[in-house]
């Protein structure tokens, strides 16, 4: 827990530093017609650096023996996270509908061990339903790939 706490605070501290750095570039003072662009982010960044610094300084006094995440828990979390990431990568290449069909099918078979029939029926019908709801009724376009292009969308 302590390591995770320190790492998070350090990353945020760095972010505050980035904000300060960029604000100084933009000017943190008074321009011709009011405060310059960097004024507000500069003070935010400075406060963030100070607050994160305090977290880091007091961390040794507030040690928590509880681990940030147990190995078993992390395994379960990653089991959700990496297929989701793969789905996003696929969406970029082949569009959201095909990617979500593959993702649903893979996840149902791999984690749920559902029968192939259920896997095929659901992983095809759900993306088709979303296609009609978003693309047709609400006219919200989603990322599309070669399959949709071949079908003329």
Partner 1 sequence: MGLENLILGFHIAITPFNLFVAVIGITLGTIIGVLPGLGGANGVAILLPLTFRMPPTSAIILLTSLYWGALFGGAITSVLFNIPGEPWSVATTFDGYPLARKGQGGQALTAAFTSSFVGALFSTVLITFFAPILADVALKFGPPEIFAIQMLTFSSFVGLGGGDPLKSLISILLGFILAAVGLDIVTGQLRMTFGSTQLMTGFDFIVAVIGLFGIGEILLTVEEGLEFHGAKTVMNLRVVLDTWKVLPRYWRTFLRGSIIGFWMGFKPGGATPASFMSYAFAKQASKHPERFGKGELEGVVAPETAAHAAGVAAMLPMITLGIPGSPTAAVMLGGLIIWGLQPGPLLFTEKPEFVWGLIASMYTGNIIGVLMVLAFVPFFAAILRIPFAILTPLIIVVCAIGSYAVHNNMIDIWYMLIFGVIGYVFKKLDYPLAPLVLALVLGDLAENALRQSLIMSQGSLMIFVTRPIAGAITAVAAFFFLMPLLRPWWRRVRGVAAAVPSPREP
Summarize as ranges the residues that interact with partner 1 (CB under 8 A): 1, 4-5, 8, 12, 15-16, 18-19, 22-23, 26, 30-31, 33-41, 44-45, 47-48, 51-52, 54-55, 68-69, 73, 76-77, 79-81, 83-85, 87-88, 91-92, 96, 100, 103-104, 107-108, 110-114, 122, 126, 130, 134, 138-143
- Cβ nearer to partner 1, comparing 14 with 150: 14
Q: Are 131 and 95 in contact (CB under 8 A)?
A: no
Strand partners, 30: 35
Q: At closest approach, how far in Å is the CB of 149 from partner 1?
A: 16
Residue 42 C-alpha from the chain's centroid: 26
Distance CA 17, CA 25 (A): 13
Q: Which distant-in-sequence residues (6+ apart) come within 8 Å of 55 by Cβ?
A: 5, 9
Distance CA 126, CA 49 (A): 47
- Cβ nearer to partner 1, comparing 55 with 120: 55
- Cβ nearer to partner 1, comparing 137 with 150: 137
């Amino acid at each position: 827990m302590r390591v995770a706490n320190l790492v998070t605070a350090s990353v945020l501290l760095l972010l505050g530093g980035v904000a300060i750095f960029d604000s100084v570039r933009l000017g943190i003072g008074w321009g011709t017609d009011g405060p310059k662009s960097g004024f507000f982010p500069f003070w935010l960044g400075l406060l963030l650096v100070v607050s994160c610094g305090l977290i880091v300084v007091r961390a040794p006094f507030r040690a928590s023996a509880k681990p940030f995440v147990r190995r078993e828990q992390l395994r379960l979390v990653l089991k959700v996270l990496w297929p989701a990431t793969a789905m996003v990568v696929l969406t970029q290449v082949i569009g959201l509908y095909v990617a979500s069909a593959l993702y649903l099918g893979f996840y149902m078979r791999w984690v749920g061990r559902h029968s192939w029939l259920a896997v095929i029926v659901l992983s095809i019908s759900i993306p088709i339903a979303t296609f009609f709801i978003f693309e047709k009724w609400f006219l919200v376009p989603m990322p599309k790939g070669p399959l949709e292009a071949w079908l003329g969308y």
